Amino acid sequence: MPTWVPTHAYLGTDTCLLGYRHMPTWVVTGIGFIPESIYPMLTKAYIFNLLLFILLLNFTIFGLKLYIEMNKLIDTFKSIYLRRPYLLILFISILLTLPWITMGEFYTKGEPREATVATCILHTGNWVLPSDYADEVAYKPPFMHWFMAIFSLPAGHVTETTARLPSALALIGITMMFFALLYKRTTAFRAALASIIVLTSFEMHRSGIEARVDMTLAFFMIGALISLFKWEEKGLKGFPLLIPLFLGGAALVKGPVGIVLPCFVFGIYLLLLQRYSLWKIIYKNILVAMPALAILLVWYVLAYQQGGDHFLNIVYAENFGRFLGKDSKALGISYELGHEGPFWYYIPAIVLGFMPWTLLPIFSLFTDSFKNSMRHIKPQQLSIWKRLANMDKLTLFSLISVVIILTFYAIPSSKRSVYIMPAYPFAAYLLTLLYEWALAQKPHLIRLLARVLLVLSGILLVLITVFHLVDLSAVAAPLVHVAKTTHDIGLFSVAFQHLSLLGGVVWLLLLGAFTSCWMILKKKTPDVILVATLALFICTQVFLEGLAFPVFKDAYSSRPFAEKIEAKYDLKDKTYVTNNLREYSNLYGLNFYMGNNFRNFDKELPASGYFITAQGYIEKIRATYAGTYTFEELERTPDKYNDFGDVIVLYRIIKTGK
C-alpha cells in the first residue's frame, strides 16, 4: 500500500533533510495526487507560481462577484432614473462634491486667500470691504465670501469645509439647472449624458471642490443665461424676476462682467434668430440689466465710503484696465493683473478642461468619414448663416454662448482656464451631440474611449495593489533624482502601504466598476458601454479624491508650522510681513491658519515683534533695513514643501536705529 503524506511536510524542503530513505509512491496535495517521481519539482519557485495562480483565481472570482453586484447596482440606478431622474442626478452631484470638500487642508495660495476674507468678516464684522492679508483690501465684491462667513457662523470660525461649500453647492446647482433645462426639451439620455459630462469634466470637478470665486460666478452667470433662454421661449413677455437676481449675484461676485457678458450673449442670440428688431433687443437687455446694475452700485457706494479713491483705482484696474490689457504700473496698482496668455489660449484650455470626454472628438478627427467630409466640402456648403438658421434654438444658443464667452475672455492679456467655466454646460451639450453621432455612426469610438479609461483605471488599481505590498520609495529612489518628485513619491508610498478604511472602500469600488466595464465592453451595445464608461470614470474620481489627493493636500499645508509657532510664541497682534506683491509673494496659507493676524511691516515699522518671510527673501529685506533692523531667526519649516513653495522662517524683530 502506498504511504500518504501531507503536502505541507514537503513544501520548500528536500526529502533527505526529513530523514526519509524511501519516498512514498504518491503524495497527497491540495490539488490532487502527485507521483513520487515528479514531486521533487515542487521547489519554492513552483510553490510561488502555484500560490500566485490561486491568488489570481480568487481575484477573478471576487471580480465576478463584484461584476454581478455592480450589475445589480446599475439596474437599481436605471430604475431610479426612470422613476426619479432628478434624484439620481442630484445623488451623483453630491457624491462627487460634498464628501471631498471635508478632506485635505489648503495646499495652494488661492484657497486660503479667499477663506481669509471670510475670516476677516467674522472677526471684524466688516461685510462691505474686508481685508485678506495684512492691509490688503479684497478688491472684488465679497458675495461669495458672505456665503463662506454665513456657513461658518455655527462654528464661529472658517474651516476648509465651510470655505469650499459655496463652490460645491454652486456646481451641484449648475448641474441640476442644466439637467432641468435639457430634460424638458430633449431626450432623457441626452439630458443625463450632458449633465454628467459637465459634472465630471476635469475643470468643473476641480473647481467645484475648491474655495475659489470662479465656480460661484459660473453658477450665477449660467443661471442668468438659462433664464434668458427660457424668457425668449416665452416671447420676451413679462418681467423675469430671476434674471436680474442672477445677474446681480454674478456682479456681486466679480463685478460688471457678470452683467455685461450674459446680456451680450443673449443679444447676439436674439439678433441671429431674426425675430426681433434691434431696438427691442436693446430695450429688453436694458430692462433686465438695470436692476442688476443697481444692486452692484449699492455695494460700490458703500465700499467707496470705506476705501475712497484708492478703491476706485482698483475697481478701474480690475474691470477696465484688465480687459484693455493695460500695464499694472500705469494703473497705479502694486500687483500684476494675472497670468498672461496668447489669444488662442482658451482652445487648448477647454479641450483639457473637458478631459477625458474630449478624447472622443480627438479620435473622430482620424476617422474616414471626417476626412472624406473635409475633402468633399463645397463652397456653397459653407454658408454659416444658413446653417445657423437651420439649427434648433438650444443648439444655436449653446454654440453662441461658447463662441462669445471664449472670444470675450480671449481679448484681455490676463487669462486663466477657470474664466470660461460659464461656457462649460453649453459646450457639454454640443459635445453630447457628437457622442450621439458616434453611437449611431462610429460605435468603435465609444469602445476605444472605454478601453482608454479601462487602461488608466487598471493602472491605478495595479499601482495601489503592488505598492501596498512593496515600498514605492525604495523602487523609485534609483530612478528619480528630482527632490520634489522624490518627496511626492514618498507621500504616496506611505499612503499606499497604510490604506485607511476609506481608501480600501474606494479601491473596492473602482475594482467593481473596472470589472463591470470590462465585462460589458465584451458583450453589450455601445450605449450601454458608454453608460458603463461614465460610471467607471465617476468611480475613478471618487477613488482619487478618497485615497490619493488628501495625502498630497495635507503634506503641502502650512497648518503644522502655524500651530507650532503659535504654541511656542505669543504672536497675537505682533506678527509682521511684507505686503508688496511686486517684490515678494504673500504667505496666504500661513496667514489663514494663524487667524488673519498679519500686519504690514513696511508701513508700521514696529519697535519689536515677530517677522515672517521666505528664506529666499530675507537677505534682500536685511539689505533694505540695514542699520535700522536686525532679524533673529527663531523657527523655520523643515523643508520647502508647503503651499508657498519655499522654506518659511520666523524671526524676532530687533530695532537697532531710527
With 70 as the cut, is the pLDDT of residue 341 above it?
yes
The average pLDDT across 139-167 equals 94
Q: Are 85 and 105 in contact (CB under 8 A)?
A: no
How far is 12 from 232, CA to CA, in rounded Å? 81
With 90 as the cut, is the pLDDT of residue 203 above it?
yes
Residues 6+ apart with CB under 8 A from 433: 395
How far is 76 from 81, CA to CA, in rounded Å? 9
- Lowest mean pLDDT: which of 8-12, 243-247, 455-459? 8-12
With 60 as the cut, is the pLDDT of residue 59 above it?
no
Q: Are 409 and 241 in contact (CB under 8 A)?
A: no
Please give the pLDDT value at position 34.
Answer: 46
Confidence of residue 391 (pLDDT cuts 50, 70, 90): confident
Residues 6+ apart with CB under 8 A from 620: 583
With 70 as the cut, is the pLDDT of residue 10 above it?
no
The average pLDDT across 8-14 equals 41
The average pLDDT across 406-424 equals 92
How far is 391 from 426, CA to CA, in rounded Å? 15
Cα-Cα end-to-end distance for the chain: 107
| 633, amino acid identity | E
Out of 29-43, 335-349, 490-504, give the one with best mean pLDDT. 490-504
Q: Which pLDDT tens digit goes with each residue over 549-571?
A: 998 899 999 999 999 999 999 99
The average pLDDT across 642-657 equals 92
With 80 as the cut, is the pLDDT of residue 320 above it?
no
> How many Cα atoms occupy the beta-carbon half-sphere of 382 within 13 Å?
6
Please give the pLDDT value at position 38.
Answer: 46
The average pLDDT across 323-349 equals 70
How far is 626 from 630, CA to CA, in rounded Å? 7
With 50 as the cut, is the pLDDT of residue 108 above it?
yes
Q: Are 221 and 422 in contact (CB under 8 A)?
A: yes
Confidence of residue 323 (pLDDT cuts 50, 70, 90): low
| 183, amino acid identity | Y
With 70 as the cut, is the pLDDT of residue 322 above it?
no
Cell triple for 356: 477625458
Please give the pLDDT value at position 340.
Answer: 78
Please give the pLDDT value at position 427.
Answer: 97
Please give the pLDDT value at position 180.
Answer: 97
The average pLDDT across 625-638 equals 94
- Lowest mean pLDDT: which of 3-12, 103-112, 433-442? 3-12
Q: Is 365 exposed, middle or buried (0-12, 13-18, 19+ CB in 10 A)?
A: exposed
540: nearest Cα among 448, 453, 464? 453
Please give the pLDDT value at position 16.
Answer: 41
| 133, amino acid identity | Y
- The fraction of the chain above a pLDDT of 90, given in percent, is 62
Using alpha carbons, list the distances in angstroms from residue 657 to 57, 574, 578, 623: 78, 19, 19, 14
How far is 78 from 88, CA to CA, in rounded Å? 9
Parallel/antiparallel/unpaired status of strands 629-636 and 608-614: unpaired
With 50 as the cut, is the pLDDT of residue 15 above it?
no
Please give the pLDDT value at position 468.
Answer: 84
With 70 as the cut, is the pLDDT of residue 292 above it?
yes
Confidence of residue 1 (pLDDT cuts 50, 70, 90): very low
280: nearest Cα among 237, 221, 246, 226? 237
Confidence of residue 68 (pLDDT cuts 50, 70, 90): low
With 60 as the cut, is the pLDDT of residue 218 above it?
yes
- The fraction of the chain above a pLDDT of 70, given in percent, is 81
Confidence of residue 321 (pLDDT cuts 50, 70, 90): low
Please give the pLDDT value at position 470.
Answer: 84
| Per-residue exposure over 115-151, b if at least 16 CB sit within 10 Å of its own CB, e if not | bbbbbbbbeeeeebbbbbbbebbbbbbbbbbbbbbeb
Confidence of residue 7 (pLDDT cuts 50, 70, 90): very low
Mean pLDDT of the chain: 85
Please give the pLDDT value at position 69.
Answer: 60
Please give the pLDDT value at position 33.
Answer: 47
The average pLDDT across 280-292 equals 96
